[in-house]
Structure 1
Amino acid sequence: MKSFRSPGRHGYAVDVSPFLPSTVACASSQYYGIAGCGTLLVLEQSEENISVVRSFDWNDGLFDVTWSENNEHVLVTGGGDGSLQIWDTANPQGLLQVLKGHTQEVYAVDWSQTRGENLVVSGSWDHTAKVWDPEQCQVVVSLQGHEGVIYSTVWSPHMPACFASASGDGTLRVWDVKAGGCRLAIPAHKAEILSCDWCKYDQNVLVTGAVDCSLRVWDLRNVRHPLAEMISHSYAIRRVKFFPFYQTVLASCSYDFTVRFWDYSKNQPLLETLEHHSEFVCGLDFNLHVPNQVVDCSWDETVKIYTPSCLTSL
């Protein structure tokens, strides 16, 4: 396991570059995101360690980060001041543009992955999701429907102009950007939902993670009951991610300081529990270029890169 520490910066999100297998971005904040500034860390991993390549400060906390799918140097972050920031790691100044539109904290950003699209979606504490054209630096559509904070917005890897959102109102929603509205609203938990993600192999399957400590897998063709429910965490689940190399495997990280790996197709779905942090684990990602490699970050000021034993035995 490789570890990197950034004193005074509490990790909120990590994203592995879709172009460069050794490059990781981390969105972090001072004072646990309650006050102070934020820092975007661009990290490089070698065989032995992790080092900083670039570091850019923002005047408010940074809560999420996503790499461009079209330019290996460009990233977008979401900030506590309600703005999105577009960064260029090849530019010494870093900051390219500031996108203003939300009235409260931006807690989620994601860059579209479907062919022919170049869109960013953001979710905010102002209960809205906004879709942006990052080249024109303008809002394409602003979407309302949630009755609580939006904690997670994730593009479908299969369906163009389609994304999912998870909210403090306990619902998982699927949106159609072209139609400008919500296609489906699922009362997925009787608690705040902090994260959602799409299965990489089935366009109808998503997972949610909530404050009730449960993960639920949903099939959009029949949402009366979840496909699976997994309970093992002892505190709120902060982020969920489907494994890109195996259809029914996923990971979750939690305020209980753990990262857990699951196979929801099994009677005993919990594959492995790792407790290598001393604070809330908030950020989690898989490396698409290095099979089985996981990156996470925590409020304990560290980013960790590792390969869980359970994934190598699949």
Structure 2
Amino acid sequence: MFSSRLSLRIPPVICLGLIRSAAGLERRTYLMTTMKVFRCPGRHGYAVEASPFLPNRLACAASQYYGITGSGSLFVLDQTETGIVLVRSWQWGDGLFDVAWSEANEHVLVAGGGDGSLQLWDSANQNAPLKVAKEHTQEVYSVDWSQTRAENLIASGSWDRSVKVWDQNLGASLATLRGHEGVVYSSIWSPHIPGCIASASGDGTLRVWDVKAAACRLAVPAHKAEILSCDWCKYDQNLVATGSVDCSVCVWDLRNVTQPVNQLLGHSYAIRRVKFSPFSRTVLASCSYDFTVRFWDFGRRLPLLDTVEHHSEFVCGLDFNLHIPHQVVDCSWDETVKIYSPSCLTAAS
């Protein structure tokens, strides 16, 4: 188990990063408002998501022993004027790799685990999962809750190369989407089109799925290396971003995929997650195994807005706060969750 997880979770070109020390990194300077930090000793952050309902609430999925072996933890956190406080935490028998809030209930969230399970949790009054579903035969690396009206569904992406669709109660899966030839690292609902999912895989493709037909409508050879993340633009149903082991972020117009709208270069190791801003069509963020978070405006001639380096290990989780403009939350293998507002975003507002 140890060797297989290490080889899949950390692509070979990235393994060198495990032996890099923070002291050996090129240092960059940047300005931001006060940063708030939550420390979770012995737990290495994999994913973080801000609540769609509560401005100061967020959730973090973390794993013991860097997610290679051991158990996992799910944290519900609130930011206060002075810092970040723990609201509730749960332990799981295997690593947890992603988390998503319900779009219909402010207390409910779903997490994906290394044992192939999805767990439904209630932050208000439950000490155990509301429900556990285990149809995937390998690790669940991605979970996402649909955002379009008249739809209340969950998508999960797994190392078993499939994407599954579930109802809000995690009953038997409603659909299984097959076609990827590698690990599915990311599966994201379109915020615009009902029943539409984008997925990114170790096979180097970005795929767009029609859930009702359980069919792939578009397969884009987006990178010549593993793709670890994808995200939809919040303002344009045709724009999707991908982040890859090749250290690039590509922005794609799904109406013409012969070449990307823009290729964003600057990271020195694999890009673990990409996120579009909820406040600007052309602004997005990326986090990487190079210990940095970078902010981009792909509408500019020089798209890199800023490089934030405040972690001493891989940065795996990243999200924008929907309620507080330009506030960002991230988490890292260095056992911290951080909330901050980069000056490059606040200055442009």
Q: TM-score range by the shorter chain?
A: over 0.9
1:291 maps to what in 2?
325
What residue in structure 2 maps to residue 191 of structure 1? 225
Is residue 262 of structure 2 the alignment partner of residue 228 of structure 1?
A: yes
1:82 correspondence with 2:116: yes
**How many pairs are equivalent?**
314
Residue 135 of structure 1: how far off its partner (Å): 2.4
Shift of 1:138: 1.7
Of residues 138, 141, 144 in structure 2, which corresponds to 1:104? 138
* Matching residue of 1:72: 106
For residues 212 and 336 of structure 2, what CA distance do their matches in structure 1 show? 40
Q: Could you tell me how far 1:163 is from its partner in structure 2?
A: 0.7
Q: Identity of aligned pairs, percent?
A: 72
State the SS of the aligned residue for 1:71. coil
- Of 76, 98, 102 in structure 2, the residue corresponding to residue 42 of structure 1 is 76
- Write the distance in 2 (CA, Å) between the matches of 1:50 and 1:43: 7
Counterpart position of 2:26: none
- Is 1:125 aligned to residue 159 of structure 2? yes
User: What code does the residue aligned with 2:133 have?
Assistant: L
Secondary structure, in 3 states, of the residue corresponding to 1:196?
strand
State yes or no: 1:179 paired with 2:213. yes
C-alpha distance in 1 between matches for 2:278 and 2:126: 33
TM-score, structure 1 as length reference: 0.99
Letter of the 2:272 partner, please give it.
R
Name the structure where strand makes up a greater proportion of residues: 1
- 1:143 aligns with 177
- Say which structure, 1 or 2, has more relative contact order (CA 8 Å, 6+ apart): 2
Q: Equivalents in 2 of 1:272, 1:167: separation in Å?
A: 28
Q: Which runs of 5 or more structure 1 residues have no equivalent in the other structure?
A: none
Residue 217 (str. 1) matches residue 251 (str. 2): yes
CA-atom RMSD in angstroms: 0.6
Which residue in the other structure is 1:270 paired with? 304
Opposite residue 251 of structure 1, the aligned amino acid is A
CA distance in 1, matches of 2:324, 2:77: 16
Task: Indicate whether 1:154 and 2:180 are aligned.
Answer: no
Query: Residue type matched to 1:211 in 2?
Result: V
| Superimposed CA distance per residue, residues 268-288 of structure 1 (whole angstroms, 9 cap, x where no aligned partner) | 100000000000000000000
Q: Deviations over 1:248-295 (max 9, x none)?
A: 000000000000000001111000000000000000000000000000
Q: Which amino acid aligns with 1:128?
A: S
Question: Is the 2:120–2:170 Cα contact (8 Å) retained in structure 1?
Answer: no
The DSSP-based 3-state class of the residue aligned with 2:100 is strand
Choose the corresponding residue for 1:21, options 55, 70, 82.
55
Partner of 2:202: 168
The residue aligned with 1:245 is 279
* CA separation of 1:245 and 1:180: change in aligned 2, threshold 3 A: same
SS in 1 for 2:48: strand
3-state SS, counterpart of residue 138 of structure 1: coil
What's the CA shift for 1:134? 2.3
Cα distance in 1 for residues equivalent to 2:193 and 2:238: 10
Q: Is the alpha carbon distance of 1:88 and 1:226 closer, same or farther for their aligned partners in structure 2, counting shifts above 3 Å?
A: same
Whichever structure has more helix as a proportion of its residues is 2
